Amino acid sequence: MSDPNEEDRDSKDAAPIHFRNLNISETGKRNSDVLCAETAVLSCGHVMPPDYLISWCKYNLKQKTEFTCPRFDVYKKGICGTKFSYQDLCQSVPLTSSLKEYFEEGLEKLTASRICDFKPCPGCGSYVERADQKNLCVHCTICTAKMGCSYEFCWNCGKKWPGTVRNAVHCGNSDCGKPETSQTKKDLLKLCQPEFKEQKLQTEEIYSSKEKSSDRKRIAMIINNVEFRVKQYRRNGAEKDEESMKTLLEALGYNVIILNDLSAEGMEAALRDFSQRDEHRYSDSTFCVIMSHGGPDGIHGINVDDNEHDVFPVDKIFQYLSSENCPGLTDKPKIILIQSCRGDKEGHVWVCDTVKTTKGKIQHREKDFGCFRSCTPDTVSFRNPGSGSAFIQSLVNIFNENAYKDDIMELFRKVAHWFEKTAKENDFPYQMPSLDRTTLVKKFYLFPGL
């Protein structure tokens, strides 16, 4: 196996993303939060890898929805969706004490939010219930006791209450009432104008794009492996990539399923179930983003060891999203983004200056794919523990800035150009993203906002 931290390799000075030396633990302890049970069985009878079930339940909890079975059911001809309880989860798979604490605390907060109106105090983080529904000024007794003076915050914007405390419907903070966003103005996705889309429809051969409406059900999936059984393999900074990619895809109109810390078997189960989701029939495209360690043979699962066991072959992504296995996405763009190493070689060398059938018609088994990987075969990818990976962060920035006017192949080209330019100008690591098995037969415009 290549060095598990190859993906973390750093340059001396990569100013655009501010790469610095990495702090990587040298211990090889096992992560007690990742379990080794072989299978998990739900009351509906469906069997799945335990890491997949745990990750799916975490996703449900974050979405504030009930636990449901994610497996494809051949009799229902769709996702099972059978509801189950936390007690059922505990009976299906052995949970560590930390996982139990995570679920129980999350479920308690979810239950409390349905019963009363509460929010965390920006000062101490403790949860505070609002007694007067008409008053945005909320008093925190814990902060008041700690500070020795009265502390209030605004229920609407979550900031310390400015000025005199009083009954109010506006706190006086300039951004109170504005939609919350984790992005700055510079980072916001630029929106497309209807006239531009109309022009492209008339002058270029492009993929069909559904209008923004309740009938359009775009769905995407992010698999992000952060915690591994061997603790030193932890992908610090990967949370930044996940948040950036989630924000981008949601801004593009996709509902995003996020699954963390999956084995190779878990990733395969997730891909299989994702390919069978009914939403694809009402969508016009999809994104599948996978971020993990990797090597020449594929993407590493959380149980990877020094002998490279637990590897998910990239070929299976194409297999599950193919026309044969995912008819709902036939003739629709399927964009695959992979952030992982593909080997242990540096991305530079010294060169001498001198010298299946759908609707009664035959369909291509593998078509309309756009696969963009973070590096070329056999080479490493770079990630910063503070700001995320060079590939994901540059891709998100370029999509935000240019998706309103460029098709996806041009966007990919600009990402590659960013790496080339940055390497030359800033002594940046020689990493080069590359297209893999791309079969887009038309131009794919994302038309953000439309």
Q: What is the mean pLDDT of the chain?
A: 86
Q: How confident is the model at residue 261 (pLDDT cuts 50, 70, 90)?
A: very high
Among 418, 421, 424, which Cα is nearest to 391's?
418
- Tell me: domain 6-17+182-345+361-435, CATH 1.10.10.10, correct? no
Would the pLDDT of 331 be above 90? yes
Token digits for 303? Answer: 């149980």
DSSP string, 210-239: --SSTT---EEEEEE----SBGGG--TTHH
Token digits for 418? Answer: 């960013």
Give the position of tokens 């009363």.
116
Would the pLDDT of 116 be above 80? no
Q: How confident is the model at residue 135 (pLDDT cuts 50, 70, 90)?
A: confident
Rounded Cα gap, residues 153 and 352, in angstroms: 65
Q: How confident is the model at residue 360 (pLDDT cuts 50, 70, 90)?
A: low
Token digits for 251? Answer: 């801004």
Q: How confident is the model at residue 416 (pLDDT cuts 50, 70, 90)?
A: very high
- Whole-angstrom CA distances from 425 to 15, 22, 389, 391, 398 are 10, 22, 19, 17, 18
| pLDDT attached to residue 157 | 84
Write out the residue limits of the CATH 3.40.50.1460 domain(s) in the chain.
6-17+182-345+361-435
Taking each continuous run of H as one helix and of E as one strand, the counts in the chain are 10, 19
Would the pLDDT of 161 be above 90? no
- Residues belonging to the active site: 293, 341
Would the pLDDT of 27 be above 70? no
Instruction: Between 104 and 112, name the one with better pLDDT.
Output: 104
Q: How confident is the model at residue 136 (pLDDT cuts 50, 70, 90)?
A: confident
Q: How confident is the model at residue 348 (pLDDT cuts 50, 70, 90)?
A: low
Percent of the chain with pLDDT over 90: 66
How many residues are listed for the chain in this entry?
Answer: 450
pLDDT (mean) for 347-375:
71
* Helix, strand and coil percent figures for the chain, each rounded to 5: 30, 15, 50
Task: Phi first, then psi: give them for residue 222, nearest 5 degrees.
Answer: -120, 125
Q: How confident is the model at residue 114 (pLDDT cuts 50, 70, 90)?
A: confident
- Whether this model's pTM surpasses 0.75: yes
- For 52-78, what is each residue's pLDDT tens digit? 999 999 999 999 999 999 999 999 889
